């Protein structure tokens, strides 16, 4: 049964073909929203779109012209644009060797053998391409989407933008400086843009999930996942559906006083 609070609202979810984006789409559709599912994966976006009775919009969020064109077309087609969820993202590429060094270092720290710690060289080994791609997809993608959406939301004096950051933007971990920097920058971007447009009826907020059980974590081996569970006070990963409740709150009128606010859902990490 629909609560009806999002009836007819037009919602765009980037990276909506998988994981959290797909869960957000399903959650908002269940409250009556009309969904546009963006992704670079055409098949995945098509499946989610067909599940929620919405449409797919296939483009790369790092392509600003494509982002502008898609948002302009959606706003013209539906006559409105109510919610944008900037969610598309990639995981840092894992390196089993560096993970092993980190694990061994943890044991050496516990045993007080600080002289024997081995450098992981994670930052030294990070290539220009890896850095650029990470910042481009997360930070530039969020900027391109927000800019395109505000061109419609500010004049209509209504809208909600939800940016998916990470606990790594609030409490960074060693080994993934590009991911942490991108996610932290999204928080500052969220606050600045939110202050600019709040008086015009547009709210912009950020969510900082802890570790969520999605395909993004597929590259992690069992030991790495066990390490995450061990460090997470609640003792487990989140489900994408749990995060979708936070996003649902921020998308709708229930969060009317939330402006530039940052919502961790971290299982106790932050
Ligand atoms: N899973 C986690 O533990 C976790 C924790 C905190 C934050 N996040 C963030 O949540 C968001 C969603 O992650 P997820 O876990 O659902 O991952 P996921 O891999 O399941 O989904 C990400 C989706 O984004 C799409 N995508 C990637 N690059 C794109 C691009 N350039 N343009 C358009 N689409 C693109 C992918 O095709 C994929 O469908 C990401 O921003 C991620 O950084 C994830």
169 within 8 A of 184, measured Cβ to Cβ: yes
pLDDT for 127: 96
pLDDT for 1: 42
d(CA 10, CA 27): 14
Task: Please state, as a whole number, how many other Cβ atoms lie within 10 Å of the Cβ of residue 248.
Answer: 21
What average pLDDT is seen over the chain? 96
Q: Is 164 in the pocket of ligand 1 (CB under 6 A)?
A: yes
Q: Is residue 179 annotated as part of the catalytic site, yes or no?
A: yes
153 within 8 A of 127, measured Cβ to Cβ: no
CA of 138 to the centre of ligand 1 (A): 9
Query: Per mean pLDDT, which range of 65-69, 91-95, 136-140 is the poorest?
Result: 91-95
What average pLDDT score do residues 69-73 get?
98
Q: What is the pLDDT of residues 163-193, one digit of tens each?
A: 999 999 999 999 999 999 999 999 999 999 9
Q: Is 82 in the pocket of ligand 1 (CB under 6 A)?
A: no
Mutate to test the pocket of ligand 1, among 144, 168, 216 (most ligand atoms within 8 A of CB): 216
Sheet strand arrangement including 202-209: 55-58, 34-39, 10-13, 83-86, 159-164, 202-209, 262-265
Phi, psi of 129 (to 5 degrees): -65, -45
Q: What is the pLDDT of residues 204-250, one digit of tens each?
A: 999 999 999 999 999 888 888 998 999 999 999 999 999 999 999 99
Q: 13: helix, coil or strand?
A: strand
Report residue 72's pLDDT band, with 50, 70 and 90 as the boundaries. very high
What would you measure as the largest C-alpha separation in the chain, in angstroms?
64
pTM: 0.97
CA of 199 to the centre of ligand 1 (A): 31
pLDDT for 4: 65
Q: Is the pLDDT of residue 2 over 70?
A: no
Give domain limits for the chain.
Answer: 10-265
Q: Is 41 in the pocket of ligand 1 (CB under 6 A)?
A: yes
d(CA 131, CA 125): 11
In the chain, what percentage of residues exceed pLDDT 90? 92
Q: Is 39 in the pocket of ligand 1 (CB under 6 A)?
A: yes
In order, the DSSP letters of 119-186 are ---TTTT--HHHHHHHHIIIIIHHHHHHHHHHHHHHHHT-EEEEEE--HHHHS--TT-HHHHHHHHHH
Q: Is 242 in the pocket of ligand 1 (CB under 6 A)?
A: no
Domain 10-265 has CATH 1.10.10.10: no
CA of 175 to the centre of ligand 1 (A): 19
């Amino acid at each position: 049964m629909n609560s009806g609070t999002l009836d007819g609202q037009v919602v765009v979810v980037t990276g909506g073909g998988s994981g959290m984006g797909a869960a957000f789409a399903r959650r908002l559709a269940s409250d009556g929203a009309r969904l546009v599912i963006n992704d670079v994966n055409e098949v995945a976006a098509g499946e989610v779109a067909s599940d929620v009775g919405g449409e797919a919009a296939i483009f790369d969020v790092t392509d600003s012209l494509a982002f502008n064109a898609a948002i302009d077309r959606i706003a013209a087609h539906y006559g409105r644009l109510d919610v944008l969820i900037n969610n598309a993202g990639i995981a840092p590429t894992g390196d089993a060797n560096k993970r092993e060094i980190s694990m061994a270092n943890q044991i050496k720290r516990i045993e007080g053998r600080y002289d024997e710690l081995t450098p992981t060289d994670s930052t030294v080994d990070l290539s220009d391409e890896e850095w650029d791609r990470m910042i481009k997809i997360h930070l530039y993608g969020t900027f391109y989407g927000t800019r395109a959406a505000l061109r419609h939301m500010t004049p209509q004096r209504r809208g909600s933008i939800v940016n998916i950051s990470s606990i790594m933007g609030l409490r960074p971990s060693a080994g993934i400086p590009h991911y942490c920097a991108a996610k932290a920058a999204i928080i500052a971007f969220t606050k600045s843009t939110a202050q600019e447009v709040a008086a015009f009826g547009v709210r912009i907020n950020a969510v900082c999930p802890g570790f969520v059980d999605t395909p993004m974590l597929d590259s992690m081996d069992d030991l790495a996942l066990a390490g995450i569970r061990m460090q997470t006070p609640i003792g487990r990963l989140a489900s994408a559906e749990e995060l979708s409740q936070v996003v649902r709150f921020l998308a709708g009128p229930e969060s009317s006083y939330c402006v530039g606010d940052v919502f961790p859902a971290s299982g106790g990490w932050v």
